[in-house]
């Protein structure tokens, strides 16, 4: 694979995207949403046309009548306003916004991305007609996620903004991606026992050497000081590598080849030269990857998901 082909496999995440947690009627709609690639919201007595075009006060009066809420009382106003705002939020979702939905008992979370520009109404069904198209990326058991996601799932609102969890969510839905000016590469560790400090140090040292050599040998002229690592090793965990440039994507490809024993099969001359001059470091890295029980499916995903 050429350098340009490798770089094309870096997914781009929209920096303007927002993150939302959407309830599934206590899990009843979880499988339906996944199978048919959408999310939906209730209050079916209101059409999209009414929400988008009718005066807000008139819409709220209709809601109050159906919901039997007294708009002359504080509680009545709060109930109707809260419902109205949830509907407006749902239909105002933007393309590329990130969605998380919970299963029954919230033992699983599904992660997806809004695919349509506007909400649509499914007239062939009787309930949950107001919908958005979603592409699903991951379904994860809670036990395999960072404990921070227990806070995510605790929100009881029909739809709620979870932007403050964005970095944690990004690490779930992607492992080689570009966001803003930086490239991110996530190594997911599945070792449940204590992580040996010396092994971790070997991995960090190897990564540093490889990044420096990639930068030098491919003439990227990147600032190696702009290279960061985020570590979360609570039970199963992750290392997130972050830098501004191309070298991290090349590192990801070399680790991909190492994890699937593909170093000897590489044909591109530039990559072959990198492999030859860094073989010992790559072999050492392979041993640490095995010891830390890194998820090899995740390591290979960026370079095989598009048929490469």
Q: Read off the pLDDT of residues 273-291 as tens digits, 9 standing for 90 and up.
A: 999 999 999 999 989 988 8
- Looking at the fold, whether 27 and 147 belong to one and the same domain comes out as yes
Distance CA 186, CA 163 (A): 20
Q: Does residue 214 belong to any structural domain of this protein?
A: yes
Asked whether the beta carbons of 135 and 115 are under 8 A apart, the reply is yes
Asked whether the beta carbons of 87 and 127 are under 8 A apart, the reply is no
Q: Does residue 1 belong to any structural domain of this protein?
A: no
- Looking at the fold, whether 26 and 167 belong to one and the same domain comes out as yes
Neighbouring residues of 184: CB distance < 8 A, sequence distance ≥ 6: 170, 171, 174, 176, 177, 178, 240, 241, 242, 248
Distance CA 269, CA 193 (A): 40
pLDDT at residue 228, as a whole number:
85
Domain end, chosen from 156, 173, 190, is at 173
Cβ count near 201 (within 10 Å) = 11
For the segment 93-149, what is each residue's pLDDT rounded down to a tens digit?
999 999 999 999 999 999 999 999 999 999 999 999 999 999 999 999 998 888 899
- Looking at the fold, whether 25 and 166 belong to one and the same domain comes out as yes
- Looking at the fold, whether 160 and 203 belong to one and the same domain comes out as no
- Looking at the fold, whether 30 and 99 belong to one and the same domain comes out as yes
Q: Does residue 230 belong to any structural domain of this protein?
A: yes
- Looking at the fold, whether 150 and 268 belong to one and the same domain comes out as no
- Looking at the fold, whether 72 and 213 belong to one and the same domain comes out as no
Residue 40 phi/psi, 5-degree rounding, is -150, 165
For the segment 247-272, what is each residue's pLDDT rounded down to a tens digit?
999 999 999 998 887 788 888 999 99
Q: Does residue 9 belong to any structural domain of this protein?
A: no
Of 130, 137, 129, the C-alpha closest to 113 is: 137
Give residue 115's domain range: 19-173
Name the pTM for this structure.
0.89
Q: How many domains does the chain have?
A: 2
pLDDT at residue 95, as a whole number:
97
Statement: residue 306 has pLDDT above 80: no
Q: Does residue 295 belong to any structural domain of this protein?
A: yes
């Amino acid at each position: 694979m050429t350098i340009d082909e490798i770089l094309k496999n870096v997914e781009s995440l929209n920096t303007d995207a927002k993150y939302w947690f959407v309830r599934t009627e206590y899990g009843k709609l979880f499988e339906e949403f996944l199978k048919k690639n959408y999310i939906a919201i209730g209050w079916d007595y209101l059409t999209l046309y009414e929400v988008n075009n009718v005066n807000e006060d008139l819409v709220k009066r209709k809601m109050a009548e159906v919901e039997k809420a007294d708009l002359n009382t504080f509680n009545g106003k709060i109930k109707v306003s809260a419902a109205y705002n949830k509907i407006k939020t749902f239909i105002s979702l933007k393309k590329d916004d990130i969605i998380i939905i919970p299963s029954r008992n919230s033992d699983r979370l599904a992660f997806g991305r809004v695919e349509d520009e506007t909400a649509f109404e499914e007239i062939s069904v009787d309930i949950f007609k107001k919908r958005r198209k979603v592409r699903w990326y991951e379904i994860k058991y809670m036990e395999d996620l960072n404990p921070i996601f227990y806070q995510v799932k605790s929100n009881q609102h029909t739809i709620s903004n979870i932007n403050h969890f964005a970095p944690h969510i990004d690490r779930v839905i992607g492992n080689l991606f570009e966001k803003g000016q930086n490239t991110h590469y996530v190594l997911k560790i599945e070792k449940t026992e204590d992580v040996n400090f010396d092994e971790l140090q070997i991995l960090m040292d190897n990564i540093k050497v490889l990044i420096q050599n990639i930068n030098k040998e491919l003439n990227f002229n990147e600032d190696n000081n702009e290279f960061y690592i985020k570590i979360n090793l609570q039970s199963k965990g992750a290392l997130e590598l972050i830098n501004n440039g191309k070298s991290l994507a090349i590192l990801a490809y070399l680790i991909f080849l190492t994890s699937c024993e593909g170093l000897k099969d590489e044909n591109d001359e530039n990559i072959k030269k990198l492999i030859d001059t860094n073989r010992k470091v790559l072999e050492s890295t392979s041993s640490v990857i095995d010891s830390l029980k890194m998820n090899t499916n995740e390591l290979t995903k960026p370079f095989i998901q598009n048929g490469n």
